[in-house]
A and B are shown apart, each in its own frame.
Chain A
Amino acid sequence: MAVRERSSIQGADTQFLDPAVLSRISGLDLLARTVVDGFLQGLHRSPHLGMSLDFAEHRAYMPGDDIRRIDWKLFGRTDRFYVKLFEAETSANFMVALDISRSMSFGTGAVTKLDYARYLAASLSYFSQKQRDRVGLATFDHEIVEYVPPSTRHLQLILHTLTRVEPGRPGTLRDPLMRLGDNLHHRGIILVLSDFYEEPEQVIDSVRHLRARGHDVIVFHLLDPAELKFPYESAASFRDMESDTMIPIVPDELADEYRTLIGQHTEDLARLFTGSRIDYTVLDTSKPLDYALFQYLSSREKMARVR
């Protein structure tokens, strides 16, 4: 199904998913609606596609099962008790963990990484709200800055929070994610948006804690094209946006080695996240949001299938 959907989007008009175009939309509410509706329209899917209604499979009745789940029609045909299993029996918690450390304010194109992350958070929150999920938001740098608990009525609060979020402080992953995991008592889906400027082992230790608490974790690794390509030429002093330390750099001498290192970093993250059954996607902020949305849907689909 995913293949079919992906092929169908290729012909859709994706201009409303271009970050440069989205940046002209002032309200995140409108932006999220534009993104999601445009995206879904391209998919030709029912607007009420809800996994909580999706039938997954039957299994034999076991003592202790709720008798309300017995498929009586199938019992009439087969004279055996089967229990219907759905992908989600109830509405899920959809929590966005958004990194707002200062490094997220970096951007060389129309939008910064934080802008891109806000678009994504808003769009997916809107999307999840349409799926009748409870949506929540946690922004963090080296601690949790804003926390909006999951609720079916918190979309506007989330969008408002996303609108006024300001990057400013250095960030770490471990403490805020640990605290977030402690705060979420119901399992759900946690979307982590960050640039992950920590060693891969530290990153996986931080995120794995959420996974260990039973959450389905989706990780979007946001990187600016300049971080990926390192296209600088002139010698200059490079200043770390979080620590303010500076070192002189001759880019044409270091670019290849830098690209090798960042590539190695993403590969390590991908390997470690995959090993922990966490969906990991590197997102280039110069690319349209549809890729991220597809990744999200694909992940949700996999989660439902696995469940």
Chain B
Amino acid sequence: MGLLAPLFLLGLVGLAVPIIVHLTERQRRNVVDFPSLMFLRKIPFRSTQRRRIHHWALLSIRALALALLVAAFTRPFFANDEVAIGSTLGPREVVVVLDRSYSMGYGDRWERAKNQAREVFAGLDASDRASLVFMGRGAEALLRSTSDRDRLLTALDTASLSADGTLYGPALKLAQTILEESQFPNREAVIISDFQRNGWKGDEGVTFPPGTVVKSVLISDDATPNAAVASVAFRREFFSGQERMTATARVVRRQGEAPADRTIVLEVDGQEVQTKTVRLDPTGSATVTFEPFTLSELYTRGSIRLDPDALPQDDAFHFVLSPGRAMRILVLEGGSPRPDASLYMQRALEISEEASFQVDVRRSTSLSAADLEATDVVVLNDTRFPQGATEDRLRGFVEAGGGLLLVLGERSAWQTGLEELLPGRFGPARDHTRGAARLGYLDYTHPVFELFGGPRGGDFARARFFRSRDLELGPEGRVLARFDDGSVALAERRLGDGHVLVWTSTMDAFWNDLAVQPVFLPFIHQVMRHLGGYRERVPWFTTGQVLDLADPAGMLFVADRERELAPDVAQVALTPGGGSVALPATSGPRFLELEEPGFYEIRPPGTNPERTLAIAVNVDVTESELESMDPAELAAAVASREASGEIGAGGEMLTPEMQARNQERRQSLWRLLMVAALVLLLAETAISNWISRAATLRFKDGRSYVPSNT
């Protein structure tokens, strides 16, 4: 119920008027002329008696009449949904959308939310039907259009919080579908949530059917102080032949009144390694850098934990780390190379922090199978292409996923059959006679140059190229860089699972000066990482993500050993909560949905390897931002905007004329109030007259006297 003119409530101050009149003005109004007050003055004056209210009923009636008048002037009206609910006569289709994102675990929100849902279900009639939809990042209809109240309540009792974030769109869309499919004339959606703002984008495109009553039940708290471990960054160091990791955690605090000290703990493989104290401002963040720890084992599990607060789900951050693996690069220079043909490349690859490179330079072009087995990238630096069996092994190596970089120089020579291997046919060396050529085009969408795409990402234009070989691009080739004269500088061809790159100038300071430019080092690193198929391991995933463990590209993010996820081996995933997910051997995808925060273990059934493949999963930290939106905003966004959207008492659609009458009916309460006030005033008149007559002074002889001024 609302008020059209709430300012009239100030009229309630007038309630004091009858009381004041009753207590003070009464005697002033009732004046009795008396011959002399000489005797009355001799009687002690009793002021308390004068203040006594004699006619409580009269006073109450006057005050009530005035209050009703004030209420009538405020023009009270029933809200649309109240009227609709009150006028519902037919059966209802009720959809309860219950938010079970982990933010609902703040304090006792989850229990309060379930109690609200229970109340809704308890209010159902026998002919009503209800659905229970859980809302997280996705939506789940636990029960759909059932009139079995017991099942609904049981489903509610067994429901538990998820580790999901909040997205309103899927759940509301599902509710919309259920309501649209319903044949019932009365539809009602009850959204029970903490209404986090970051879950609502406004473009979800959800519109409930016309006539749907949308009720929003806000589950919130007056203050929601909360701290969370937002992210963790790692820095690898090699010290004395060991790899050491330095973890830096970023802790955020949202809301609060005063700076607070929180304890933060680093755990490695379940052991508490370090404990620190971090001071957090009421709304701010802080970083905590722990001392380096040695990383020597695969799948080392780590956690950084804050001491728990009202929302414990976001107080722990998990990760899985493995020691870095050096990329093996074999550089073949041929029989009589220039002395420094590979010097710049070798030196550049030896300088690395994260992915280390192990460079082997050979002055021959012979390659054994064992060589290729232990090699990730083969570089043919200004030498003739191997022929015969070596060429075949090299082709097989590339097709199996290896990388080949062909650096063209003076000794490079085209030979038949290379068109099946290279991106194009290269020609003789060509001098750039009109001054040095420069790199004029770079494909920043390619992984090699992606790093340099941003501002100040590296100035390749400073490098001068005096000589290069022309490359006639083949149908399989792709140009990654061109000189400013349009000739190809770098081209790629995908061959099987591997890549072949052709660089049309040398990698030393002979044909160009790129090797002495600052961009050379990151450029050569990117080239090798691309060719070697390097993927940085992902230390953690977020709840709600789904991994396809059968996808080799995806596998690279989680596994260090290919055999661990071989498609012909059945696997089982143990969830952090103690459950298990079977991942049978199959040629198709093997999806693993990461639903719980913690560590997932993946191993063949019945085995217990020493270092199990582990995947760390964390909750979406954006969910820890507990700021609420106005529930009415969401309700208004999903409500139907059709003009004929109102429904009548019997569930029928109302015409505009009927809607106008309905609106007038909702606002017609003032008439009743006015009539009631008038009736009370009439009653007051009658009662006061009766009291006046009763107050008539009667003498013994039957004559009466009414004081003239009363």
Which A residues contact B (CB, under 8 angstroms)?
103-104, 106, 108-109, 113, 195, 197, 224-227, 229, 231-243, 245-250, 253-254, 257-258, 261-262, 265, 286
Contact = CB atoms under 8 A, between A and B. Distances in A.
A293 B699 CA distance: 25
B497 to A, nearest CB: 108
Nearest to B35: A103
Interface in B692-710: 695, 697-699, 701, 703, 705, 707, 709-710
Interface in B12-57: 26-28, 30-43, 45-46, 49-50, 54
Contacts of A231: 697-699, 705
A239 B42 contact: no
Main secondary structure of the interface of A (DSSP, over half): mixed
Contacts, number: 105
A254 B43 contact: yes
Given A233-B697, A238-B40, A247-B41, A227 B27 contact: no
Given A248-B50, A250-B46, A262-B39, A232 B701 contact: no
Nearest 3 pairs of A and B residues by beta carbon: A103-B35, A236-B30, A197-B36
A238 B32 contact: yes
B36 A235 contact: no
B45 A247 contact: yes
B39 A106 contact: no
Given A225-B699, A226-B705, A231-B699, A236 B32 contact: yes
B93 to A, nearest CB: 65
Nearest to A265: B39
A235 B26 CA distance: 8
Contact of B34 (A109, A238, A250): A238
Nearest to A254: B43
B26 A241 contact: no
A197 B39 CA distance: 9
Interface in B52-105: 54
Given A250-B50, A254-B43, A257-B43, A227 B37 contact: no
A282 to B, nearest CB: 14
Interface residues of B, number: 32
A109 B704 CA distance: 8
A235 B30 contact: yes
Nearest to A261: B39
A247 B28 CA distance: 10
Q: Which of B31, B36, B40, B54 has the most CB of A within 10 A?
A: B36
11 contacts: A104-B35, A231-B705, A234-B707, A235-B27, A236-B31, A238-B33, A239-B31, A239-B32, A248-B50, A249-B32, A249-B40
Q: Which of A224, A248, A254 has the most CB of B within 10 A?
A: A248
A253 B49 contact: yes
B513 to A, nearest CB: 114
B697 A232 contact: yes
A48 B38 CA distance: 45
A141 to B, nearest CB: 13
A258 B37 contact: no
Given A238-B34, A243-B37, A261-B42, 16 more contacts: A113-B35, A197-B35, A226-B705, A231-B699, A234-B695, A237-B28, A238-B33, A238-B40, A239-B31, A240-B35, A240-B36, A242-B35, A246-B31, A250-B50, A286-B699, A286-B703
B34 A240 contact: yes
A104 B32 CA distance: 15
Given A248-B50, A254-B43, A109 B30 contact: no
B37 A238 contact: yes
A239 B703 CA distance: 23
Q: Which of A226, A227, A265 has the most CB of B within 10 A?
A: A226
B479 to A, nearest CB: 110
B33 A235 contact: no
Contact of A247 (B40, B697, B707): B40
Contact of A253 (B28, B38, B46): B46
B710 A234 contact: yes
B38 A236 contact: no
A46 to B, nearest CB: 35
A242 B36 CA distance: 7
Given A232-B32, A258-B43, A245 B37 contact: yes
Contact of B705 (A108, A242, A243, A258): A108
B36 A103 contact: yes
Contacts of B701: 286
Given A234-B710, A237-B27, A227 B698 contact: no
A224 B54 CA distance: 28
Given A233-B697, A235-B26, A240 B37 contact: yes
A241 B49 contact: no
B199 to A, nearest CB: 68
A106 B705 CA distance: 13
A116 to B, nearest CB: 13
Contacts of A254: 40, 43
Interface string B381-407: 000000000000000000000000000
B697 A237 contact: no
Nearest to B49: A250
Nearest to A249: B40
A233 B695 contact: yes
A216 to B, nearest CB: 28
B185 to A, nearest CB: 63
B59 to A, nearest CB: 14
Q: Which of B34, B41, B699, B703 has the most CB of A within 10 A?
A: B34
Nearest to B45: A247
A167 B81 CA distance: 75
Nearest to B38: A197
B31 A237 contact: yes
A225 B697 CA distance: 11
Contacts of B30: 234-237
A286 B30 CA distance: 25
Contacts of A234: 30, 695, 707, 710
Nearest to A246: B31
Given A197-B38, A258-B40, A258-B43, A106 B54 contact: no
Given A226-B705, A231-B705, A239 B27 contact: no
Contacts of B41: 247
A106 B37 contact: no
A236 B36 contact: no
Contacts of A237: 27-28, 30-32
A113 B705 CA distance: 16
